[in-house]
């Protein structure tokens, strides 16, 4: 009896109580590198808790379709899910996620270690915590360091533009480089012009880089102006003038391949592609590509779009307590660091500051500053629909079937409708 | 000369057509033997050749599970759907059972985009406690196969075969015997095509398989779609998986050789 | 119907009973599994049912239908789908019939040809889409490379609003034409031999045989084949999802993808159901027309 109490006490003391019986946790995830890293550390969790974890990996594009019926149901199959920031507004508005605040308080989980922008994106909604940020996929500018360092290029660039060729400090400087490198079969840039999310996400960087945002604090649209028009025109030019034929229909895979085959100078894309450039089975530019925050209108601002996934427990979770145990474990400092060391994309400041991580991945600080200078996409119930609208109108503008101004006016109109429908805009 | 031309012409058509089908597939085979870097090299290079993608699909991905789930679901679906659809087609053709309304009603459900049927279907299987089971997939696939197969088979039971059956009935055969011994053999080419069609419909079905399956019951389409990740398409393992999943077609060859003969003509039965 | 029921003989009545008996397993299954979802779709189309508030509290009558009919994007995608469906069904039919006729003529290698043409059919549309995207990559794809070898400039297969839909049609033909072949070949091999023998005695040419015997006898099979392929073509979704997502611009925004987005992106199941039922109405009307046409010939 006494031994039992001691055992129980010590179990509580080290932070978690063993469950009454082992449970099976079904976790639905998307096929990204970070999922692979979770898979690799999973045995530790199973050994420590006795729970069994079934990790089900599905195609990103179809994940939402698979989730919705599960979430509408009173009791679904999934204990834990990961939620893309697109879906946060929808899932919380529909009441599909369990609030985590009580559990966080009871277990003294410190959420202040997360990068605040990530907590805003995939953590808290209107003051209630529904998720813990799992990994981030903020977009950055990936560019060819070898081309920048080439003295011939440096000379020619200086002669043409009267400035040094270096990692661009401002958006205008980058646009010049885009133009400069488009010659001799090389392309200054490659774009992901496929609708809806590839183009909408990529263009958002162009919008932020021109110094505009989607909306102000009261959800009034702030993109249908000179800056917005410039962003659309620059984007269309990037595709038509400085990019390879066909980038209007590229998904990130096609665009990445152009870059990986050494046929383009730059590509604005998700940060997890940084590691892929160094994979010799995919890339011919190993060690020649670096990532940096998308430059902003001035040297001290950035234009990167933020993006992230969060861990959540659905309302329909068959075993929410065990689910919380899993989330707590996978987001513990120790495991979060382990995942980052395997190549994962961190969300916690303490992991970003870890010396071991910085030694292994020198670009970790660039990723962090990218997050700190990044901008968030509007998160509300109709985020996916806004992405659709952006995708359609931008694609029309790039195809030359609509002027930049007309496209923006249409986007603004539909944005206002959606924001009003959601009660964000009065 | 003319006769020779006449016998060569069909082969000419078939060789050209087969080439159109096969050449892209050969390129898939080539991609399956190399890595993504080489796959996208232009002009093409031989690059590194190896079987790493084939080992990858069996070690890094549960390809075997996907494959057998698909195979089991498609085979059982076909085995159930074919006799049921044959019977349905037969009574449509012979006695116009249920009239035009029933015939159209059977097919009408397939004219709705499946995405609309997903939520209620999911709810039903949830209530029945069949979620994430192969049974739910088989039932869902049956509802797709039955209408199409029965529509397809109706025309094979129409026409002169009815008169033969009547003659047999006069000779004392039962309705059932007339169906099994006369109508079914005449419709044999149709049954082969219907069986293949049923198998293919189930084998390729994606949406219901996605929503109704669980980690152990994922089918090939659902699993392979997962190779298109947020971080790019794993095109080389995907090519390897495609090649492996096509190999069983060639196991069918002896069967096809035997059954791909011309159907029994009515004369043969007389 | 009612009058004739009185005139039924005993055999007729037994025939009918036997018919229902044979049909019952299939009908029971369809009844159990399909009736509820179809009814649910009808019922939902009359309500303001969204995924955010999935309930039937607000009856809206025909509002969803009117909204759909007034939506220019919806009409655009209906029109686009019609174009696509007519193109693929006709082209696949012509090519498929030619190959089926050839296949029906040969004995040697028949099984091998057949096995080859089955291959694309056993590939999932998702895979077909991904693989063709690789082939058709404008800069790094094998197709444009081969064209460049013979001196043709790179084609912007999926990035041009004019070309993209034809690219999708082409890939769909590669993928689905065998479907037509399998069905048409089955029809051809089930044809009776007697009329041909009689025609040969009369000295008819092969072309005359084709137009006077094959085509009329094959008509029911042809119509059903076209109909089934048409229903599938209207539902083309995965290929578009993988290859173009409706773009560039709105040049390949087909109806199934449009309805999918209304349901699972705009979260408006009610409106998506209404659109589906409009679609159902159109296909059903077409089916009835084809069915009548088929009956009128026999």
In this predicted structure, the answer to whether residue C204 has a pLDDT above a threshold of 90 is no
Q: Over the stretch C39-85, which tens digit does the pLDDT of each residue have?
A: 999 999 999 888 888 888 888 888 899 989 999 899 999 999 999 99
Same-domain pairing of A108 and A203: no
Same-domain pairing of A209 and A229: yes
Q: Are C155 and C138 in contact (CB under 8 A)?
A: yes
Domain-embedded: residue A333: yes
In this predicted structure, the answer to whether residue B266 has a pLDDT above a threshold of 60 is no
What mean pLDDT comes out for the span A275-291? Answer: 92
What mean pLDDT comes out for the span A94-118? Answer: 92
The three-state DSSP-derived secondary structure of chain A is CHHHHHHHHHHHHCCCCCCCCCCEEEEEEECCHHHHHHHHHHHHHHHHHCCEEEEEEECHHHHHHHHHHHHHCCCCCCCEEEEEHHHHHHHHHCCCECCCHHHHHHCCCCHHHECHHHHHHHCEECCEECCEEEEECCEEEEEEHHHHHCHHHHHHHHHHHCCCCCCCCCHHHHHHHHHHCCCCCCECCCCCCCCCHHHHHHHHHHHHHCCCCCECCCCCECCCCHHHHHHHHHHHHHHHHHCCCCHHHCCHHHHHHHHHCCCECEEEEECCHHHHHCCCCCCCCCCCEEEEECECCCCCCECCECCEEEEECECCCCCHHHHHHHHHHHCCHHHHHHHHHCCCCCCEHHHHCCHHHHHHCCCHHHHHHHHHCCECCCCCCCHHHHHHHHHHHHHHHHCCCCCHHHHHHHHHHHHHHHHHHCCCCC
Largest distance between two CA atoms of chain A: 84
Q: Are A267 and A259 in contact (CB under 8 A)?
A: yes
Q: Are C106 and B14 in contact (CB under 8 A)?
A: yes
In this predicted structure, the answer to whether residue A18 has a pLDDT above a threshold of 50 is no
Domain boundaries, chain B: 62-226
pLDDT confidence tier of residue C169, bands split at 50, 70 and 90: very high
In a mutational test of the A interface, the residue from C134, C143, C152, C247 whose CB has the highest number of chain A CBs within 10 Å is C247
pLDDT, chain B, mean:
87
Q: How far apart are CA C41 and CA C227, in angstroms?
A: 23
Q: What is the pLDDT of residue C14?
A: 84
Q: What is the side-by-side strand order in the sheet with A24-30?
A: A52-58, A24-30, A80-84, A308-312, A132-136
Percent of chain B with pLDDT over 90: 38
Token duo for residue A224: 């249908």
Residues spanned by the domain of C223: 46-297
B181 versus B159: the higher-pLDDT residue is B181
pLDDT, chain A, mean:
90
Same-domain pairing of A412 and A319: no
In this predicted structure, the answer to whether residue A2 has a pLDDT above a threshold of 80 is no
Q: What is the pLDDT of residue C258?
A: 93
What mean pLDDT comes out for the span C226-241? Answer: 91
Same-domain pairing of A172 and A299: yes
In this predicted structure, the answer to whether residue A310 has a pLDDT above a threshold of 90 is yes
In this predicted structure, the answer to whether residue B187 has a pLDDT above a threshold of 50 is yes
Q: What is the pLDDT of residue A16?
A: 42
What mean pLDDT comes out for the span C198-210? Answer: 88
Domain-embedded: residue A319: yes
Q: What is the pLDDT of residue B4?
A: 79
- Alpha carbons within 13 A on the beta-carbon side of C172: 29
Number of H helices and number of E strands within chain B? Answer: 16, 2
What mean pLDDT comes out for the span A360-386? Answer: 90
C50 SS3 class? strand
Q: How many CB pairs under 8 A join A and C?
A: 100
* CATH number of domain containing C88: 1.10.3720.10
With the CA atoms of C12, C13, C14 and C20 taken in that order, what torsion angle do they form, in degrees rounded to the nearest 10? 110
Residues near B104 by beta carbon (within 8 Å), at least 6 away in sequence: C284, C287, C288, C291
Q: What is the pLDDT of residue B155?
A: 87
Residues of chain A with C-beta less than 8 angstroms from the C-beta of C164? 249
Strand A139-144 and strand A266-270: pairing? antiparallel
Residues of chain A with C-beta less than 8 angstroms from the C-beta of B126? 73, 75
Residues spanned by the domain of A255: 140-305+380-421
Percent of chain C with pLDDT over 90: 49
Same-domain pairing of A177 and A115: no
Spell out which chain A residues touch chain C, with contact meaning CB-CB distance below 8 angstroms.
Answer: 61, 64-65, 68, 72, 90, 93-94, 193-196, 244-251, 254, 257-258, 261, 263, 381-382, 384-385, 388, 391-392, 395-396, 398-399, 401
In which residue are the tokens 């058509």 written? B13
Domain count, chain A: 2
Nearest to A58 among B37, B132, B222 (CB): B222
Same-domain pairing of A160 and A289: yes
* CATH number of domain containing A157: 3.40.190.10
Q: How many CB atoms lie within 10 A of CB C115?
A: 20
Give kind and range of the element (H or E) at residue C3.
Answer: helix C2-7
In a mutational test of the B interface, the residue from C26, C196, C270 whose CB has the highest number of chain B CBs within 10 Å is C26
pLDDT, chain C, mean:
89
In this predicted structure, the answer to whether residue A9 has a pLDDT above a threshold of 70 is no
What mean pLDDT comes out for the span A123-143? Answer: 93
Same-domain pairing of A402 and A255: yes
Q: Are C158 and A249 in contact (CB under 8 A)?
A: yes
Is cis: bond before C103, omega within 30 of 0? Answer: no
End-to-end CA distance of chain A: 63
Q: How many CB atoms lie within 10 A of CB A24?
A: 12
What mean pLDDT comes out for the span C177-183? Answer: 93
B226 versus A304: the higher-pLDDT residue is A304
- Report the range of poorest mean pLDDT among A58-67, A291-300, A314-323, C121-130: A58-67
Nearest to A281 among B36, B131, B226 (CB): B36
Chains that touch B (3 or more CB pairs under 8 A): A, C
Nearest to B210 among A65, A253, A260 (CB): A65
pLDDT confidence tier of residue C6, bands split at 50, 70 and 90: low
pLDDT confidence tier of residue A14, bands split at 50, 70 and 90: very low
Chains that touch A (3 or more CB pairs under 8 A): B, C
pLDDT confidence tier of residue A309, bands split at 50, 70 and 90: very high
Q: Over the stretch A216-248, which tens digit does the pLDDT of each residue have?
A: 999 999 999 999 999 999 999 999 999 998 899
Domain-embedded: residue C15: no
Domain-embedded: residue A11: no
Contact C265 A391 (CB under 8 A): no
Q: What is the pLDDT of residue B268?
A: 46
Same-domain pairing of A359 and A403: no
Annotation: CATH topology of B62-226: MetI-like fold (1.10.3720)
In a mutational test of the C interface, the residue from B193, B238, B249 whose CB has the highest number of chain C CBs within 10 Å is B193
pLDDT confidence tier of residue C298, bands split at 50, 70 and 90: low
Q: Give Cα A345 to chain centroid, integer Å.
A: 10
Q: Are B232 and A32 in contact (CB under 8 A)?
A: no
Residues of chain A with C-beta less than 8 angstroms from the C-beta of B228? 31, 59-61, 253
Query: Which residues face A55 on adjacent strands?
Result: A27
CA distance B225 to chain C (A): 6
User: What Cα–Cα distance (Å) separates residue B17 from each residue in A264, B13, B23?
Assistant: 38, 6, 10
Q: What is the pLDDT of residue B186?
A: 83
- Report the range of poorest mean pLDDT among B160-169, C113-122, C156-165: B160-169
End-to-end CA distance of chain B: 37
Same-domain pairing of A225 and A89: no
Q: How far apart are CA C280 and CA B109, in angstroms?
A: 8
Contact with chain A for residue C120, Cβ under 8 A:
no
pLDDT confidence tier of residue A11, bands split at 50, 70 and 90: very low
User: What Cα–Cα distance (Å) separates residue C138 from each residue in B31, C19, C142, C148?
Assistant: 18, 57, 9, 11
């Amino acid at each position: 009896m006494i031994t039992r109490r001691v055992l129980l006490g010590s179990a509580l003391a080290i932070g978690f109580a063993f469950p009454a019986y082992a449970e099976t946790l079904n976790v639905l995830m998307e096929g990204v590198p970070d999922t692979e890293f979770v898979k690799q550390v999973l045995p530790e969790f199973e050994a420590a808790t006795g729970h069994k974890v079934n990790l089900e990996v599905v195609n990103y594009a179809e994940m939402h379709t698979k989730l919705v019926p599960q979430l509408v149901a009173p009791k679904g199959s999934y204990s834990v899910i990961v939620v893309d920031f697109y879906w946060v507004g929808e899932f919380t508005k529909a009441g599909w996620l369990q609030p985590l605040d009580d559990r966080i308080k009871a277990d003294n989980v410190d959420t202040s270690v997360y990068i605040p922008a990530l907590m805003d994106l995939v953590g808290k909604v209107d003051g209630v915590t529904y998720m813990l940020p799992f990994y981030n996929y903020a977009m950055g500018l990936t560019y060819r360091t070898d081309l920048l360092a080439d003295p011939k290029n440096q000379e020619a660039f200086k002669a043409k533009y009267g400035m040094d060729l270096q990692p661009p400090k401002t958006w205008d400087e980058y646009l010049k480089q885009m133009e400069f490198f488009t010659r001799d079969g090389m392309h200054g840039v490659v774009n992901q012009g496929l609708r809806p999310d590839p183009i909408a996400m990529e263009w958002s960087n162009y919008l932020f880089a021109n110094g505009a945002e989607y909306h102000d604090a009261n959800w009034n649209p702030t993109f249908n102006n000179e800056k917005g028009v410039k962003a659309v025109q620059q984007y269309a030019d990037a595709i038509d003038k400085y990019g390879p034929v066909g980038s209007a229909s590229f998904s990130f895979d096609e665009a990445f391949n152009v870059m990986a085959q050494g046929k383009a100078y730059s590509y604005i894309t998700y940060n997890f592609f940084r590691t892929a450039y160094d994979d010799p089975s995919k890339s011919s530019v190993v060690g020649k590509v670096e990532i940096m925050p998308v430059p902003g209108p001035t040297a001290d601002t950035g234009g990167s779009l933020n993006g992230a996934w969060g861990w959540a427990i659905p309302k329909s979770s068959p075993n929410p307590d065990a689910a919380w145990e899993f989330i707590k474990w996978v987001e513990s400092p120790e495991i979060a660091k382990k995942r980052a060391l395997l190549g994962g994309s961190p969300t916690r400041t303490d992991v970003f500051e870890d010396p071991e991580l910085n030694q292994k991945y020198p670009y970790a600080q660039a990723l962090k500053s990218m997050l700190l200078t990044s901008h968030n996409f509007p998160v509300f119930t109709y985020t996916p629909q806004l992405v659709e609208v952006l995708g359609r109108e931008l694609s029309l503008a790039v195809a030359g079937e609509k002027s930049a101004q007309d496209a923006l006016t249409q986007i603004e109109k539909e944005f206002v409708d959606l924001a009003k429908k959601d009660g964000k805009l009065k | 000369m003319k006769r020779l031309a006449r016998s060569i012409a069909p082969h000419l058509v078939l060789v050209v057509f087969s080439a159109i089908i096969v050449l892209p597939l050969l390129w898939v085979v080539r991609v399956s033997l190399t890595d993504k870097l080489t796959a996208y090299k232009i002009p093409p290079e031989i690059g590194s050749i190896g079987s790493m993608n084939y080992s990858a699909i069996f070690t890094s991905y549960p390809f075997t599970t996907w494959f057998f789930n698909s195979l089991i679901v498609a085979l059982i679906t076909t085995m159930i759907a074919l006799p049921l659809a044959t019977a349905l087609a037969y009574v449509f053709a012979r006695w116009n059972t249920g009239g035009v309304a029933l015939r159209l009603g059977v097919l009408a459900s397939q004219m709705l985009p499946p995405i609309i049927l997903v939520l209620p279907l999911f709810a039903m299987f949830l209530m029945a406690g069949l979620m994430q089971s192969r049974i739910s997939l088989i039932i869902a696939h049956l509802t797709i196969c039955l209408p199409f197969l029965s529509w397809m088979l109706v025309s094979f039971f129409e026409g002169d075969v009815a008169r033969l059956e009547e003659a047999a009935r006069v000779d004392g055969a039962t309705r059932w015997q007339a169906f099994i011994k006369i109508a079914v053999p005449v419709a044999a080419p149709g049954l082969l095509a219907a069986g293949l069609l049923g198998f293919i419909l189930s084998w390729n079905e994606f949406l219901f398989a996605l929503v109704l399956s669980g980690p152990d019951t994922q089918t090939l389409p659902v699993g392979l779609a997962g190779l298109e990740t947020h971080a790019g398409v794993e095109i080389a393992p995907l090519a390897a998986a495609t090649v492996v999943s096509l190999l069983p077609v060639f196991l069918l060859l002896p069967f096809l050789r035997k059954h791909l003969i011309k159907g029994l003509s009515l004369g043969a039965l007389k | 119907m009612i009058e004739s029921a009185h005139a039924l003989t005993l055999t007729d009545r037994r025939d009918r009973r036997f018919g229902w008996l044979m049909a019952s397993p299939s009908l029971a299954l369809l009844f159990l599994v399909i009736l509820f979802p179809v009814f649910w779709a009808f019922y939902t189309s009359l309500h303001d049912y969204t995924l955010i508030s999935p309930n039937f509290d607000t009856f809206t009558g025909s509002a969803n239908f009117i909204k759909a009919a007034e939506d220019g994007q919806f009409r655009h995608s209906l029109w686009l789908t019609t174009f696509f469906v007519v193109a693929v069904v006709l082209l696949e039919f012509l090519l498929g019939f030619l190959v089926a006729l050839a296949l029906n003529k040969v004995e040697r290698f028949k099984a091998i040809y057949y096995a080859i043409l089955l291959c694309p059919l056993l590939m999932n549309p998702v895979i077909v889409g991904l693989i063709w995207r690789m082939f058709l990559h404008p800069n790094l794809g094998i197709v444009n490379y081969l064209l460049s070898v013979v001196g043709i400039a790179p084609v912007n297969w999926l990035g041009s609003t004019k070309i993209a839909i034809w690219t999708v049609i082409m890939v769909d033909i590669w993928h689905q034409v065998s479907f037509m072949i399998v069905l048409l070949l089955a029809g051809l091999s089930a044809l009776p031999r007697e009329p041909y023998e009689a025609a040969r005695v009369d000295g008819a040419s092969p072309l005359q045989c084709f137009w006077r015997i094959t085509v009329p006898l094959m008509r029911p099979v042809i119509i059903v084949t076209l109909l089934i392929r048409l229903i599938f073509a209207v539902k083309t979704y995965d290929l578009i999802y993988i290859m173009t997502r409706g773009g560039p611009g709105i040049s390949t925004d087909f109806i199934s993808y449009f309805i999918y987005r209304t349901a699972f992106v705009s979260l408006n199941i009610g409106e998506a159901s209404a659109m589906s039922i409009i679609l159902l109405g159109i296909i059903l009307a077409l089916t009835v027309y084809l069915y009548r046409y088929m009956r009128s010939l026999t």
